[in-house]
Structure formats: C-alpha cells, structure tokens
Amino acid sequence: MTSAKQKLSRRSWTKDTYFISTDTALIPIAELNAVFASDLFYWADALPEDVLRETLENSLCFGVYEDLDTRPNAETAQSKLIGFARCITDFTTFLYLTDVYIDTDFQGKGLGAWLITCVQEVIKEIPHLRRSLLFTSGWEKTVPFYEKLMEMSVLECKRPAEGEKGEGVAIMQWRGPAFPDALR
C-alpha cells in the first residue's frame, strides 16, 4: 500500500521550458543552501548539508526547475533549480507552507503563481486535512496573492506602526475538508 507521503512526493508538472517536482532527490542541496545563505532568504540561514538533506526528506518539497536541455547550446546540466517551496506536514491533518521563493532572474514570468497553484492542488488532495497555515510579510503583495491562489484567509496580522520600518507579518490559513464544523 502506498502511503500519502509516497504518493504526494512523486508529483510533477510541466509548463513551457520549466517543470515542478516534489521529488526531493532532484534538489541540489548545495545550490539550495546557497539560496538559504543569501539575502533572498532573509528569514533563514544556511544549514549543514546533512541537516538540510534531512529537513527536505522530512517535508513535502516543491522544486521549480528550468529544463536546460530545451535551450540552445545547453551545457552538461540537464536542469537548474530556480524556485522552491516547502511544506511541513504530517500528510494527514496539518500543513505549514514555508521557504517559498523564485530566483530573481525568473520572477515576473508567472512561475511563483504556478508554484503556489501546484502546492494548493496537492494540499486539496489530502482528504483529512484540517488546515494549512503560512506566515508572510509584505501585506500589500503577498496577502492578496495567497488569498487568490490558495483561498487563504488572514487569521492574524501585525502591520508596522506608522513611520516604523518593516512590512509586518500575517498568519494565514486555508480550512481543509476536515476542519471542525464547530469552528467554521
């Protein structure tokens, strides 16, 4: 019998010269760790590679890749990691979305929206899911983005006070099919 984790960890999508996969074996650990160490991941730092590998193996991960074989004069690499999203989950009742990014060189092509649409597609396949959560900053852009693409609603938010630097934080949720009726 195939477990939910095994089933969900073997998904893939293709669009133009890009693909998304939930297969963690495809994720280049050193490249992802370089992203974690960059300013792009302001909320995280690089991890020892064995710790990052274990983190990925214990999560539902979505790698976004550019298929270099479809480009003229492609070198030896077959694909390049250009985006990522990680779901911390028990694969049954709860899911927390984190570490979402698209390489700045590939932003503006709809890849972030496609990534989140694929994540939500998988989330909706978990029949006993009570809720999925995420924390996000950048109220003006990200909250409407997740509201639209993941049908998320804001549970709580802290906007910066007038004159204060920062973008605040919002906690968002999607109520899954097993969300208790008493709380709806």
Counted domains in the chain: 1
Whole-angstrom Cα distance, residue 44 to residue 36? 6
Q: Which residues have C-beta within 8 Å of that of residue 181, sequence separation ≥ 6?
A: none
> Strand, helix or coil at 155?
strand
Give pLDDT, residue 138: 72
Give pLDDT, residue 1: 43
Q: 144: which DSSP letter?
A: H
Give pLDDT, residue 49: 96
Taking the model in full, what pTM does it have?
0.87
Residues of the domain holding 32: 4-183
H helices within 130-178, ranges in order? Answer: 139-150
The half-sphere exposure of 21 on its side-chain side, counting CA atoms within 13 A, is 16
Amino acid at 146: Y
Q: Return the structure tokens found at 93.
A: 């009742």
The crossing angle, in degrees rounded to 10, of helices 29-37 and 49-57 is: 100
Whole-angstrom Cα distance, residue 20 to residue 102? 12
pLDDT < 70: residue spans in the chain: 1-2, 68-77, 159-167, 182, 184
Whole-angstrom Cα distance, residue 75 to residue 54? 30
- Which CATH number characterizes residue 141's domain? 3.40.630.30
Whole-angstrom Cα distance, residue 87 to residue 144? 20
**Residue pLDDT, tens place only, 50-69:** 999 999 999 999 999 998 66
